[in-house]
Amino acid sequence: MKSLKQNLVLAFAFLALAGTSCLFNACEKNSSPVEEIKDGLDARENEEAKDAAEEVGEAIEKTGENIKEAIKDVTN
- The amino acid occupying position 64 is G
Return the CA Rg of the chain.
Answer: 17
- 55-64 pLDDT, tens digit each: 888 888 888 8
Q: Is the pLDDT of residue 26 over 60?
A: no
Q: Using 50, 70 and 90 to split pLDDT, how confident is the model at 52?
A: confident
pTM of the model: 0.50
